[in-house]
Amino acid sequence: MANYSYFFKKAIGKGLLLLLGTVILISLTSQSIRSDDNQPTGDSEFDYSCIDIPSSMEFCGTTIDLTRFDRRERMDRELLAFRYMHSTSLQIIKRANRYFPIIEPILQANGIPDDFKYLMAIESNVNPLARSVAGAAGLWQLMPGTARDFDLEVGNHVDERYHIEKSTQAACKYLKQAYSRFHNWETVAASYNAGQGRISQQMEKQYVDNALDLQLVEETARYTYRILAAKLLLTAPQKFGFYLKASDLYPPIPYRTITVTESIDDLPRFAKSQNINYALLRNLNPWIRSTSLPCHGNKKYTLKIPDKEGMVYNPRVIMPHDPNWVTQ
């Protein structure tokens, strides 16, 4: 009987300790919840706030009305995607500081509205090495056939879809061609995703003169709204909850150029002769796709060689198109 009494008392003691621990845990949790209630929106790790949807936005000089329910909800979807796709959105902002200054003057020289840099942003996430499962490549995500149509070299040793300047020139040619067909930039943007033929066909079938009013497959239906959302992200990232310093952004890399008129059989050896390595050579010249660079006939290539001082990280340049949001 004494043994049973001992175990009974021991069980009672454990039960009381468990009950006391539960009471303490509930009390602490309750205090934590009450404390969180007093925090302003945005201070919590679990901030799921929405972004104010603008009633309209400017795109290529045209005001796009976003008050109609379907347009408003499509815009909302894309704003939420950028708001909660944190790592990708932040990388887009960081990379834009390096590549927008290269893209912008080329667009301007070709008479293409500056807003098309945001099309490039959603195509590749501003990643010059981007490649889709369908085979589109580079900042502008050009397919091999389209690239060749617009005078880019696409092969095993050289793929100029990854050439920042040349691929931008090719994209400008496409956009100008599409504008001569559609006469409004919103439809030109949609055609970049779906193709000019498909957009023309659907506009005729659906009796509309602007791609924003078309019933299209989901990817194309979202396309222009994604561009608008990217524009808002890159001009006012703080609205999405992103607060960056100048030092957070990727600076342009200073370089010198070398014109190559003869074949280079060993690019790693060539890189070493320039006091860099093959990886750095490829980084600044992503259009190189092999360890050799054949030059046939009158073919010549311009290689970018990073300056030694420029390879050391130095956040000298902030967003040149809209630096006001950057926290120094």
Mean pLDDT, range 70-96, rounded to an integer = 94
Residue 2 to residue 199: CA distance in whole angstroms? 90
Encode pLDDT of 185-200 as tens digits.
999 999 999 999 999 9
DSSP string, 179-209: HHHHSSHHHHHHHHHH-HHHHHHHHHHHT-S
Q: How many CB atoms lie within 10 A of CB 309?
A: 8
Residue 213 to residue 216: CA distance in whole angstroms? 9
Report residue 250: phi and psi, to 5°: -85, 120
Q: Above 90 in pLDDT, residue 318?
A: no
325 band by pLDDT with thresholds 50, 70 and 90: low
Q: Above 90 in pLDDT, residue 298?
A: no
Most confident of the following: 48-57, 159-168, 238-247, 316-325? 159-168
